[in-house]
Amino acid sequence: MTHKYGIILHGGAGRYRLFTKEFIEKRKQELKKAALYSFDELKKGSALDAVEAAVEYMEDSGLFNAGKGSSLTITKEVEMDAGIMDGKTLRCGAVACVKSIKNPIKLARLVLEKTDHIFLAGPGAEKVAEILGMKREPIVVTSEKIRKFEKAFRLWLKGKWGTHLFRLKTIYRDFIEGTVGAVAIDKYRNIAAATSTGGYSLKLPGRIGDTPLVGCGFYADNSAGGASATGIGEYLTLIFACKTACDFMRQGVSAMKAAEATIDILTRRFGLHTGGIITVDPMGRLGFAYNTQGMSKSIMTSGMSEPAVAVFPEEDHIMLKFIKK
């Protein structure tokens, strides 16, 4: 099925079977609302505005590992990364390690629109935010976040699961995950992609994952397609996940097959439970794939009356009926 215009969103790939049913349901409802909110933007005509709106909504939700809901570093701080790309012009904006920005994706968009650069990090990025008129607002570290942090930290110190954070991430329920991303195509056939994250719990200060790296956590090119990734950032970076998916689509491979082929590469190189990706190709087809227990995701296209949402493989048919392989 090809669509006049459409958007696909994700709220992170990971061990969803460890989460309660209530939490998963809440996330699904938020994804649905984010899809509707951003689809309104898409109807006005801009894929770039739509992906920014989708990610902004999820950053403000607190239910995802981005913006308000961001996880804590090993030094108990929030450090957020985000990136956005316009497939028409290949212009791109990204920020990393920002601490007191309510919506990192909005700062990334400002980098794209108002600077000569594509990637700003740390205190420099925050200074530029102020110069460009953005208010600094530290992310509140809630007692819930501290509780989860303390639990994860104790287990990590005990060496119960070794010092390898990836291992801890894959088995520990209180490990905050849920990076957010969106890819859209508008009625003018312009494609855009955006991704935002708090990284992952207990990461080292200064660590930057795939999310703000162009071609790794996000990519868009009207002549190829668009993609947003989620999962273990170090691995996604090593395979240039989003550029890889777009290179498949550039060869005429559908969005769905390109997503599957990219996650196949990730699995073969780094094993299962390592990540997921969402895609859109220049024909307006949507795609997704993941090698984790689940990936929360939602789609809304010009042919649909309401968004479709799914988390687990056994629910994916809900979305697949709107997607052509």
Please, are residues 197 and 95 in contact by the beta-carbon 8 Å criterion?
Answer: no
Closest distance to ligand ASP from the beta carbon of 290 (Å): 11
Shortest-Cβ-distance residue relative to ligand ASP? 233
User: Contact between 69 and ligand ASP (CB under 6 A)?
Assistant: no
Phi then psi dihedrals of residue 181, to 5 deg: -160, 165
Q: Which is nearer to ligand ASP, 87 or 209 (by Cβ)?
A: 209
Token code pair at residue 76 = 């108990």
Candidates 33-41, 115-123, 133-141, 228-236; binding stretch for ligand ASP (CB under 6 A): 228-236
Q: Which of residues 129-188 bind ligand ASP (CB under 6 A)?
A: 177, 179
- From CA 43, how far away is CA 94, in angstroms rounded? 25
User: Contact between 210 and ligand ASP (CB under 6 A)?
Assistant: yes
Using CB under 6 A, pick the residue from 230, 254, 279, 293 that binds ligand ASP.
230
Closest distance to ligand ASP from the beta carbon of 71 (Å): 9
Candidates 28-36, 192-200, 241-249, 307-315; binding stretch for ligand ASP (CB under 6 A): 192-200
Strand ranges of the sheet holding 286-290, from the earlier edge strand across to the other edge: 218-221, 225-231, 275-280, 286-290
For residue 82, which of 49, 63, 110, 45 has the smallest C-alpha distance? 110
Crossing angle of helices 104-114/122-131, nearest 10°?
70
For residue 168, which of 181, 154, 156, 186 has the smallest C-alpha distance? 156
User: Contact between 231 and ligand ASP (CB under 6 A)?
Assistant: yes
Closest distance to ligand ASP from the beta carbon of 210 (Å): 5
User: Contact between 209 and ligand ASP (CB under 6 A)?
Assistant: yes
The H or E element containing residue 44 is helix 21-44
Candidates 108-116, 154-162, 227-235, 261-269; binding stretch for ligand ASP (CB under 6 A): 227-235
179 in catalytic set: yes
The active-site residue out of 170, 179, 244, 292 is 179
CA angle, corner 277, sides to 275 and 282, nearest 5?
Answer: 165
Q: Which is nearer to ligand ASP, 12 or 287 (by Cβ)?
A: 12
- From CA 252, how far away is CA 243, in angstroms rounded? 14
- List residues binding ligand ASP (CB under 6 A): 12, 177, 179, 197, 199-200, 209-211, 230-233, 236
